[in-house]
Amino acid sequence: MLTSISWLQYLQALAILIAGYYSVVILLYYRIELLAILQRIKSGKSVQEPDGPRKEVLGKIAVDHNDHSLNSEELEFSQEDLNQPIEENL
């Protein structure tokens, strides 16, 4: 059944499909950046990062001055039997 196509034809078709897939993904997810690059090329400016505010993923680092750490001697553990079901511990 697969003897009618060669390995070369198979690999060429696979390469075309993969290139098409990644082209669509790039156009969908990076179209704003691509348009900004094309506009800069047309205007003669050097290609840099697109203008606009950058979104911070995690936010700025803030120090919590109320936070403190405990020594191992300051830790307290329960003396209850851990083998009992949870309902009985309530």
Instruction: Reply yes or no on whether the pLDDT at 17 is more than 60.
Output: yes
Cα–chain center distance at 86: 39
- CA pair distance 37, 46, nearest whole angstrom: 9
Give the chain's end-to-end CA distance (angstroms, integer).
68
pLDDT band per the 50, 70, 90 thresholds, residue 20: very high
pTM: 0.41
Please write the tens of the pLDDT for every residue from 47-74.
555 566 667 778 778 887 777 787 888 8
Domain ranges of the chain: 1-50
Is the CA virtual torsion 17, 23, 26, 31 positive or negative? negative
